[in-house]
C-alpha cells in the first residue's frame, strides 16, 4: 500500500487524482489533503476515503470534523510521513510546500508547472541533494518522460511539445479584443481549472511548458520545439538524431498521466481511456504562429536569458491573469503585461529560497504597477 498526500485536492487535477486513488484503493491510500478556502467538499471526500487523517485548509473547522487533524501549514502537511506527494496547487502558492516535500525526501508527482518555471535551478539542486524523483503529471511532460524512457539523452535531437492552440486558435487577432473570462476558460479539448485554461488561451501555458521541459529533462532550449496538434491526441514527441520520432498518444484524459505518475512511471490498468481505432482518426499538425501567440516567443527568450527572467515571466502572468479574471484588464493585454515586466525588471540571480520569494514579490508589484499605469 502506498500512502499519498494530495496538495490541492479540490482542483481539477486534485479531484481527478482522488478518482485515480479510489479506483486503485487496493494499492493507493489517501492519508492527507489540502483544500483552500472552501470546506464544502470535505464531508464527501471523508466518506470516500476513511483513512484520510490530515487536512490543511485556510479556515479549519476542527469541531465539525473530529476524525481528522487539521495541520497548521501546507509545509507541515507536505512533510508528513508518506510515499508520494501530489502537488496540484495552482501557481507559485505551491512553492513552499513543494520545497518542504522535497526536503523531507518525498518523491513528488508534479502537476504544478509554475514553481518549476520560477525556481527550476533551485528545485533541481534540491531534488538532486535529497535524492528524490519528480514524476510529471502535465500530459506533454508525461508523454516526453514515456518517450525518453530507456533512451540515451545524447541521442535526442529535440523534444516536440504539442499544443492544442487553445479556444482562439482560429480567431483573428482583432477578434480577441473583447474576449470574456467565460470564453477564455472554455477549452476545446481539456477541462481544466480557470487559471491554466486562460494560460492555454494566451498560449502562455505552452511557454511555461517549454521552460518546464527544460528543467525536467535538462535539455537546452534549442532542443525544445512546439507544434500545434489540433485534436490533443498526440501528447508530445521526441525526435532522435537519426530522424526517428517517438510519440505518445491517447485520449485527452488527465487520469492517464496522473495514474502513471502515482505509480512512479509505470502503466497500470483502471483508467478506462482507450483510443477507438474503429473510427477514422484524423491528426492535424501545424506550426505555431509566433506573431499571433507571442507568449511562446517570450518564454523562449526568458528561458534562454535565465537568471530571474523565467520567474518574472511566471509572476507577471499570474498577476495579469488574476486582473483579467477580476475584470480589471482585457484578455489581449495579458501577454503585453508579461512583456513589459520582463523588459522593466532588473535581472538578478535567484539562487536561494529567500531570493526566489523576494523576486516573486517584486515582480508581482511591478506587474500591478504596469496594469495600474495602463488604466490611466
38 contact choice in ligand NDP, Mg ion, none (CB below 5 to 8 Å, kind-dependent): ligand NDP
Q: Outline where DSSP puts E strands in the chain.
A: 2-7, 28-34, 54-56, 69-70, 84-87, 108-110, 134-136, 156-163, 224-229, 234-240, 245-249, 285-287
Nearest approach in angstroms of CB 209 to Mg ion is 6
Q: Which three cell numbers stand for residue 136?
A: 510529471
With CB under 6 A as the contact rule, the residue among 5, 35, 109, 247 that binds ligand NDP is 35
Q: Which of residues 205-234 bind Mg ion (CB under 5 A)?
A: none
- Examine residue 318 and tell whether it contacts ligand NDP (CB under 6 A): no
With CB under 6 A as the contact rule, the residue among 31, 85, 88, 159 that binds ligand NDP is 88
Q: In angstroms, rounded to a whole number, what is the distance separating the alpha carbons of residues 26 and 22?
A: 9
118 contact choice in ligand NDP, Mg ion, none (CB below 5 to 8 Å, kind-dependent): none
140 contact choice in Mg ion, ligand NDP, none (CB below 5 to 8 Å, kind-dependent): Mg ion
With CB under 6 A as the contact rule, the residue among 4, 10, 119, 120 that binds ligand NDP is 10
Helix (H, G, I), strand (E, B) or coil at 5: strand
The region, left, alpha or beta by phi > 0 then psi within -120 to 50, assigned to residue 121 is: alpha
192, 101 Cβ separation under 8 angstroms: no
With 0-12 CB in 10 A as exposed, 13-18 as middle and 19+ as buried, what is 2? middle
Nearest approach in angstroms of CB 161 to Mg ion is 8
CA distances to 33, 314, 372 from 90, in Å: 14, 12, 25
Q: In angstroms, rounded to a whole number, what is the distance separating the alpha carbons of residues 221 and 214?
A: 7
Nearest approach in angstroms of CB 206 to ligand NDP is 12
The residue among 104 and 225 lying less far from Mg ion, judged by its C-beta, is 225
Helix (H, G, I), strand (E, B) or coil at 109: strand
Site string for ligand NDP, 239-278 (x = CB under 6 A): ---------------x------------------------
With CB under 5 A as the contact rule, the residue among 34, 92, 138, 299 that binds Mg ion is 138
Q: In angstroms, rounded to a whole number, what is the distance separating the alpha carbons of residues 135 and 47?
A: 28
Q: In angstroms, rounded to a whole number, what is the distance separating the alpha carbons of residues 357 and 341?
A: 17
Choices 22-30, 106-114, 172-180, 272-280; region in contact with ligand NDP by CB under 6 A: 106-114
Choices 90-98, 140-148, 303-311, 361-369; region in contact with Mg ion by CB under 5 A: 140-148
Choices 7-15, 127-135, 161-169, 226-234; region in contact with ligand NDP by CB under 6 A: 7-15
Q: Which of residues 178-217 bind ligand NDP (CB under 6 A)?
A: 190, 192-196
With CB under 6 A as the contact rule, the residue among 77, 98, 99, 114 that binds ligand NDP is 114
284, 231 Cβ separation under 8 angstroms: yes
Q: In angstroms, rounded to a whole number, what is the distance separating the alpha carbons of residues 102 and 127?
A: 6
- Examine residue 140 and tell whether it contacts Mg ion (CB under 5 A): yes
Count of residues in contact with ligand NDP, rule CB under 6 A: 28
88 contact choice in ligand NDP, Mg ion, none (CB below 5 to 8 Å, kind-dependent): ligand NDP
The residue among 116 and 370 lying less far from Mg ion, judged by its C-beta, is 116
Nearest approach in angstroms of CB 313 to Mg ion is 16
Q: Which three cell numbers stand for residue 352?
A: 536561494
Helices (runs of H) and strands (runs of E) counted in the chain:
14, 12
Nearest approach in angstroms of CB 66 to ligand NDP is 22
Binding interface with ligand NDP (CB under 6 A)? 8-14, 34-38, 88-90, 93, 111-114, 138, 190, 192-196, 254
Amino acid at each position: 500500500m502506498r500512502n499519498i498526500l494530495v496538495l490541492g485536492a479540490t482542483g481539477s487535477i486534485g479531484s481527478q487524482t482522488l478518482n485515480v486513488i479510489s479506483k486503485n484503493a487496493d494499492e493507493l491510500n489517501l492519508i492527507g489533503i489540502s483544500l483552500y478556502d472552501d470546506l464544502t467538499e470535505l464531508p464527501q471526500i471523508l466518506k470516500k476515503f476513511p483513512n484520510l487523517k490530515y487536512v490543511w485548509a485556510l479556515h479549519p473547522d476542527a469541531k465539525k470534523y473530529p476524525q481528522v487533524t487539521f495541520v497548521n501549514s501546507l509545509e507541515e502537511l507536505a512533510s508528513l510521513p508518506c510515499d508520494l506527494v501530489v502537488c496540484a496547487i495552482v501557481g507559485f502558492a505551491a512553492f513552499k510546500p513543494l520545497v518542504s516535500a522535497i526536503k523531507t525526501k518525498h518523491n513528488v508527482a508534479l502537476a504544478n508547472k509554475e514553481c518549476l518555471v520560477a525556481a527550476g535551478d533551485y528545485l533541481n539542486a534540491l531534488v538532486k541533494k535529497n535524492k528524490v524523483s519528480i514524476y510529471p503529471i502535465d500530459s506533454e511532460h508525461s508523454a516526453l518522460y514515456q518517450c525518453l524512457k530507456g533512451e540515451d539523452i545524447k541521442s535526442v535531437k529535440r523534444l516536440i511539445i504539442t499544443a492544442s492552440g487553445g479556444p482562439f486558435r482560429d480567431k483573428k487577432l482583432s477578434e480577441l479584443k473583447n474576449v470574456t473570462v467565460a470564453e477564455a476558460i472554455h477549452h476545446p479539448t481539456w477541462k481544466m481549472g480557470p487559471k491554466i485554461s486562460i494560460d492555454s488561451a494566451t498560449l502562455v501555458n505552452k511557454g511555461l511548458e517549454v521552460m518546464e521541459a527544460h528543467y525536467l529533462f535538462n535539455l537546452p532550449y534549442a532542443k525544445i520545439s512546439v507544434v500545434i496538434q489540433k485534436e490533443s491526441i498526440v501528447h508530445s514527441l521526441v525526435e532522435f538524431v537519426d530522424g526517428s520520432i517517438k510519440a505518445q498518444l491517447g485520449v485527452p484524459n488527465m487520469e492517464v498521466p496522473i495514474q502513471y505518475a502515482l505509480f512512479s512511471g509505470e502503466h497500470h490498468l483502471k483508467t478506462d481511456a482507450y483510443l477507438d481505432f474503429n473510427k477514422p482518426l484524423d491528426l492535424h499538425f501545424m506550426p505555431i504562429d509566433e506573431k499571433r501567440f507571442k507568449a511562446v516567443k517570450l518564454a523562449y527568450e526568458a528561458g534562454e536569458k535565465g537568471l530571474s527572467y523565467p520567474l518574472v515571466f511566471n509572476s507577471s502572468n499570474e498577476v495579469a491573469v488574476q486582473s483579467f479574471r477580476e475584470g480589471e484588464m482585457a484578455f489581449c493585454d495579458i501577454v503585453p503585461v508579461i512583456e513589459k515586466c520582463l523588459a522593466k525588471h532588473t535581472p538578478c540571480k535567484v539562487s536561494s529560497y529567500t531570493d526566489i520569494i523576494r523576486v516573486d514579490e517584486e515582480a508581482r508589484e511591478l506587474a500591478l504597477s504596469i496594469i495600474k499605469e495602463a488604466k490611466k
